[in-house]
Amino acid sequence: MNHLIAPSILAADFGNLQRDIEMVNQSHADWIHVDIMDGMFVPNISFGFPVVTAVNKHAKKPLDLHLMIVEPERYLQRFKEAGASHITVHYETCPNLNRTVQQIKELGCTAGVALNPATPVELLEDIVSELDLVLIMSVNPGFGGQHFIENTYKKLNDIKELGSRYNPNLLIEVDGGIDEKNATDLFKAGANVLVAGNSVFSSADPQSTIANLKQLGRQIGS
């Protein structure tokens, strides 16, 4: 399976967002990761529909939306219309998770479920066969630039094992504190999609950083 890189525009320069999106377009990145925060599920507010629409206007890569919001099912159609290709909701915010996943699929989007650092992987056993993607948070969601949580490696191994039993084509994404130092270990632990924010957009050469992350994935896959 290919190893994918999804730069997170939460770490981009909002005053030059079109420039940064065009940089990602020209890079070896596979997706553009967009963090949607509502100030309720997480203690921060980020992007809404107008910004996603504006990003999609310039993006040449699929938009990977991570909905860190309560009642995400209310907004799925609008995010699809704004340009989402992949939509991930949080296990912690979806009491009717199967129904929400089905709604995402009916919109023609990749359906993902995210787990906070303290949420056990085994809670997904009954639904993992229906998912396209599982997102393992390696920091507590809400802000960029946090320190990586080491227990992430165990969770990646756990979800990889779960996927091998019920869903061999499952995409395993990891988000938070990712850089060139830990990317190889994350790929080896089972991740096949890495979200990178500060390590890309704070780099002196963001395109080279993306290319290096992509190359680390190729080395694992070879």
Catalytic residues: 35, 175
CB-based contacts of 69, cutoff 8 Å, min separation 6: 36, 37, 38, 40, 41, 75, 93
Backbone dihedral angles phi then psi of residue 206, each to the nearest 5 degrees: -55, -40
Token representation of residue 158: 């756990």
Are the C-beta atoms of residues 183 and 6 closer than 8 Å to each other?
A: no
Give the Cα separation of 39 and 43 in Å (integer). 5
Count how many Cα atoms sit within 13 Å of the Cα of residue 90 in the half-sphere of its side chain.
Answer: 24
Give the Cα separation of 11 and 139 in Å (integer). 15
